[in-house]
Copies of this chain bind each other. A is one copy, B any other.
Amino acid sequence: MGLASSIVNMDSTHYIKDLTTDNITRNVIAINSQCPEPRFRLLLERLVTYLHDFARETQLTTSEWEATIKFLTEVGDACTEFRSEFVLLSDVLGLSLLMDSINHPRPSSNNELGGSLVPTEGTVLGPFHTHDAAHLAHGGLISHDEDGEPLLVVGTVRDTEGRPIAGAQIDVWENNSHGLYDVQYPDRDAPDGRGILKSDEQGNFFFRAVVPVPYSIPNDGPVGRLLDQLKRHPMRPSHFHFMIFKPGYDRLVTALYRRGDPYERSDAVFGVKESLVVDIGPVGDVEGFSAKYGVSPETKLMRYDFVLMSEKQMRELQEQKAKEAKRT
């Protein structure tokens, strides 16, 4: 880090006195440099630098600082076992989408990977994934929502060479026709609108669900008030979550978005990508599907072919992107 050496009169216990707007940052970094973990030391160094630069550059006032402390305290108050207001804050500030982009980059062109298929893009995980979903046989129904519009989901899982990935775990979750995830039900006693499948030998899977609807992110807390102040709406377009994993492959956290949704272009948490937008039409439009999957022709159909990157491909791509980030 090299900053400690610029401190005047620094001895073994540090010399922290007469700190001003101009010298406080390097001195806080110097005292934090006692930390023996290099990565944590680096994170704190950059955090302190950005935090202080923000205050200096904006000439942040005492009352603005007080308002920020009050806001963070309210965000803390709004957190419960089933609601993380801090995740919501990260979501609406675009940080969650950025985290996915940084940690699960995609090649700018597919030549970089040398495969024939473009890997499926990731998107925000959101706060509604749980670990108690039931395992389903193919064709199983994940929803108990009697008001929901029936949906057949048909998919495949492949690698970038187009080879089927058998035995991938496919974790799916969605909201119901009232715009609620099961953890938002007042009387939740078992999972609903979620399930776990495994791809078959050909990498295929299918199950039954309901058509997801647009909904508001939890909007009655401090993050909702922030959106109000910014004149932003709290809506997310209809989407269906997928988390797909098999050892040796990079875990894919993604979602499919319904084309034509009123919020397709203004998702409150910035998750929509064109490659993840799908048409949802009647099963009857695809020859033979109604009989093959045993559902009525009026049932809606959502199809998608997922493509996973291997862990090795992802590691190499991350290293390359990190190098590019350093150059810019």
> Could you tell me which A residues sit within 8 Å of B by CB distance?
11, 13-21, 24-25, 27-28, 31-32, 34-37, 40, 42-44, 46-48, 50-62, 64-65, 69, 72-73, 75-77, 79, 84, 86-87, 90, 93-95, 97-99, 101-103, 105, 229-232, 264-267, 270, 272-274, 318, 321-322, 325
Provide the bound-state CA to CA distance between A98 and B19, in Å.
8
Provide the bound-state CA to CA distance between A272 and B53, in Å.
22
Contact B266 A94 (CB under 8 A): no
Listed from nearest, the 4 A-B pairs whose CB atoms lie closest are A76-B76, A28-B94, A34-B231, A21-B101
Answer whether A15 and B72 are a contact pair too, CB < 8 Å, given A24-B101, A103-B61.
no
Contacts A20-B101, A55-B98, A59-B102 known; 14 new A-B pairs at CB < 8 A:
A21-B98, A21-B325, A25-B98, A28-B93, A34-B231, A35-B230, A37-B229, A46-B54, A46-B58, A50-B54, A56-B102, A69-B90, A72-B75, A76-B77
Contact A84 B95 (CB under 8 A): no
Contact B94 A19 (CB under 8 A): yes
- Contact residues in B for A21 (Cβ distance below 8 Å): 98, 101-102, 105, 321, 325
Q: How many copies does the complex hold?
A: 2
- Contact residues in B for A24 (Cβ distance below 8 Å): 94, 97-98, 101, 270
Contact of A25 among B64, B69, B73, B94 (CB under 8 A): B94
Contact A76 B84 (CB under 8 A): no
Contact of A13 among B20, B52, B266, B270 (CB under 8 A): B266
Contact A57 B102 (CB under 8 A): no
Contact of A60 among B17, B37, B102, B230 (CB under 8 A): B102
Q: List 28 A-B contacts (CB under 8 A).
A: A11-B265, A17-B264, A17-B267, A17-B273, A19-B94, A21-B101, A21-B105, A28-B94, A28-B270, A31-B232, A35-B230, A36-B231, A43-B64, A44-B230, A48-B94, A50-B53, A50-B54, A51-B95, A55-B99, A55-B102, A65-B90, A69-B87, A72-B72, A73-B79, A73-B84, A73-B86, A76-B86, A77-B79
- Contact residues in B for A34 (Cβ distance below 8 Å): 230-232
Contact of A274 among B18, B47, B93, B105 (CB under 8 A): B18
- Contact residues in B for A27 (Cβ distance below 8 Å): 94, 270
Provide the bound-state CA to CA distance between A53 and B94, in Å.
12
- Contact residues in B for A55 (Cβ distance below 8 Å): 95, 98-99, 102
For residue A23, which residue of chain B has the nearest CB? Answer: B101
Provide the bound-state CA to CA distance between A264 and B13, in Å.
11
Provide the bound-state CA to CA distance between A76 and B264, in Å.
34
